[in-house]
Amino acid sequence: MTWKALGKVAPDQLSEVRLQLHWAAQLLSAPGTSLLPAREDYSHTNLGWDSALSVLSGRNVGPRASRAGLVFEALELTLIEARRERASIRLAGRTMQQGLAWLGAELAGAEAARLALPGHEMPSHGVGDGGVFSEAGAGSRAELATWFSNAFGVIRDAVADEAGASAVRCWPHHFDVASLVRLDTGGSANEARSIRVGFSPGDSSYDQPYFYVTPWPYPDSVALPPLPSGASWHTEGWTGAVLTAERVLSVASAQQQRTAREVLAAAIAACRGLLSR
């Protein structure tokens, strides 16, 4: 993967644009949510990163394999066909419903009336209450695009040799990027041992981007092994190894990728050890 240097915008300055992008990502999920067969794990709703177009994009739907995309910096909703952007609209000054109506019209036909947003709980924001998207914050949106691009690549590398790893995808509910490494082939998702390797652009746990590795079931927090310098264990509400944006940016730009790789590798090994006890 090609890692892009981070740090043009401080991590604590990304919160507002993160919330708007989180809401905008629901538009990308709408076609899969509405037009694809529902899957128990909700994978019909999840999103991927198109490195060629530098967009977050939804699932292919319809006879033309169309998918919705989001250009972070320009806050632009696009319709992609055959790996090309066929149409686009700026979301700034528009509401969620206007974005959804445009997307439905571009998909055409009876499908337009069937488009609906995912039904999960979302963080509070004016956009969710009918307000319009703001054009402000292009630099912050570009910084988050870099975080997402890097996260998809470094997580993909981290689980490349894991036989039970799922594809690296973005989940619209929490707006996080992750792969689930199943250690057990049998049992339900709640019963099987697993390791989730992921990235969050920020949430109620950390108001900044961070990488995480979580074991399931959660182990006893008093028996957690040491982690590489810069990483730490989170134990409030959930248990996992965390590498925050502040820690990533505390090293030289040439060392950022190596730092993330080393922490993820060590955290995966630590979680595997915890689950084998």
pLDDT digits (tens, 9 = 90+) for 141-168: 999 999 999 999 999 999 999 998 999 9
pTM of the complete model: 0.96
Beta-carbon contacts of 266 under 8 Å, excluding residues fewer than 6 positions away, are: 227, 228, 231, 241
Residue 1 has pLDDT above 80, yes or no: no
Neighbours of 273 (CB within 10 A): 12
Helix axes 256-275, 138-158, angle to 10 degrees: 50
The amino acid that residue 174 corresponds to is H
Strands 176-182 and 169-171: what pairing? antiparallel
Cα–Cα distances in Å, from 79 out to 14, 20, 32, 150, 274?
26, 19, 13, 23, 44
CA distances from 13 to 125, 175, 195 (A): 16, 18, 30
Domain boundaries along the sequence of the chain: 11-129, 138-275
Split at pLDDT 50, 70, 90, the class of 112 is low
Q: Is 14 exposed, middle or buried (0-12, 13-18, 19+ CB in 10 A)?
A: buried
Res 81 pLDDT > 70:
yes
